[in-house]
Amino acid sequence: MLQTNQLKRALADGKTVFGLLNSIPSPLLVEMIGYAGYDFVILDMEHVSVNPETLENMVRAAECAGITPLVRVPNATPEAILRALDCGAQGIVVPHVRNAAEAAQAVAASRYHPHGTRGISGGRTTGFGAINLPAYFERANSEIMVVAMIEDREGVDNLDAILSVTGIDMVLEGAIDLSQSYGVPGQAQHPTVQDAIEKIAAGCRHRNIPFCAIPRDSSQPMTRKKRDAQAYLLGDDRGVSFRAIKAHLMTFRE
């Protein structure tokens, strides 16, 4: 059954929230992230191969651990979004949103009439038919989040039009892809890239839409907190795990 979206509640209350990208498709790891105290986890289907059964069990693990599960879909097609939401995800993260049309497509695919065109399923989100459908539709439209990733120069240029689309609940920056789009691949701290991120943050502030930053050095979290970010994606579990395992070994080798 669709649960209360605690992430959406926290953002509405003005709280600062912290998440982690899940790149290791394991329900156990998702459960660990939840019990570690993160507010949300983004289950990656853009760069990671995840079978539908595993994804559904990862969402269940998030529910058990009290963490909000979002799914980064490969693209904004209704088919990809429907698969993620029907497994119980409480929101989607759409990569490479470049214009208002793509943003509107993502919103429409994520919500039921009268706010969208999402297909109807009698699966786990509806209690396998135990929930009154009109009531479920209303609740789903209220709880499901749509997060737009701005990670292309075109997306920055069309930012105001994208943010004007009703139903965008949060915006996530993508500095690495932005660096490539601006001709400085891999240079997330390049002034041109950082200027683009500042434009995204300012646009979100103007539209009163939560902005999610990805800190890439120790000075960034507080800097962003003083400015525009209300949410932080603190890297991915793959990188965090690798660094922790390597550091653990070095304590014995030294």
Q: Where are the alpha helices (DSSP H) in the chain?
A: 6-12, 27-35, 52-65, 78-86, 100-110, 133-143, 153-157, 159-163, 175-181, 191-207, 220-226, 237-253
- By 3-state DSSP, what share of the chain in percent is helix, strand and coil, each rounded to 5? 50, 15, 35
Question: Which CATH topology does 6-253 take?
Answer: TIM Barrel (3.20.20)
Span 93-100, average pLDDT: 98
Per-residue pLDDT tens for 45-91?
Answer: 999 999 999 999 999 999 999 999 999 999 999 999 999 999 999 99
Per-residue pLDDT tens for 12-57?
Answer: 999 999 999 999 999 999 999 999 999 999 999 999 999 999 999 9
pTM of the prediction?
0.94
Look over the chain and give the mean of its residue pLDDT values, rounded to a whole number.
94
Going from N- to C-terminal start, the domains of the chain cover 6-253
Q: Which residues are catalytic?
A: 47
Question: Does the pLDDT value for residue 224 go beyond 70?
Answer: no
